[in-house]
Structure 1
Amino acid sequence: MTGAPTDSRSGPFRRWARGNPSDVIDVFVYVVVLNLAIEYVPSVISEGFTLSLLTAVLLKVALEVVLVVKARVVNRLHSATTPSGKVATVLLLWVVAAGSKLVVLELVDVVFGDAVSLGGFVSVTLLVIALLGARAGVRRLLLP
């Protein structure tokens, strides 16, 4: 058998636990963007910096899961051969895109209660776009 040995313990959590620099950078970027939103968007609220830091970590984990699901749906779209299969996959992609925002809102509410609020669907959608845009910009700037 050729190739690198596989480690059953490797995966996203182990990568995160080892301190992958891009993941740490992502959390720092998310903290900055989230705190700017807290300062300038009245519907985005956090009772303190520690809660905004924990919210950034929660958003990092949630958005990573969403990106994995989205990538699988996009792969399914590319492999669909019938028009009805493509339409169904596009609808599934829309459900993932819209549903992920609702999941993020509910997750933040369950974990932090009234101490943190990301506003409503529109504000969390704009926040997620800002988070992913800032993350892409900083990664492009800092990482090889």
Structure 2
Amino acid sequence: MSKLEKKMQHREFVQNAITRMNTNSFQIKGLAITIVSAFLAIYAAEQKPLFIIIPVPFIIVFWFLDTYYLQLERKFRGIYNDICGLNQNPITTKIYEINPSLYCGVKYNFLNVMFSITIWPLYLITSIGLTFIYFSLK
């Protein structure tokens, strides 16, 4: 196998990991919305405000999980960019080296990812909204 073929296969491995992280993130968002909807449906049937506040801890857990997967996705994108030669100072230089723990810094920071525009609106607004509704009904 030539060096070019190995490099192409390496990129494919990393792209598959990126796709998996993206799929996990999408499914977590869908599951969070489903759980909130289910508890709101139960509230509508039972008229007990407790069912409005119950999903908030679930939302926070899903927020952390979604952040974890997006953080991993960013690290794999860093690896992918290194393989393609798009980064000025590549961290990954060996063929078939896939080590996301080498990628640190502001871009890959957990809190930076947690409050990125693709994550915080869904989870924070939902959590605050449900909490506000719960206390306004009490």
TM-score of the alignment, normalized to the shorter chain, above 0.5: no
Structure 1 or 2, whichever has the larger Rg, is 2
TM bin (shorter chain): 0.3 to 0.5
TM-score (norm 1): 0.40
TM-score by length of 2: 0.41
**Which structure carries more strand by proportion?**
1
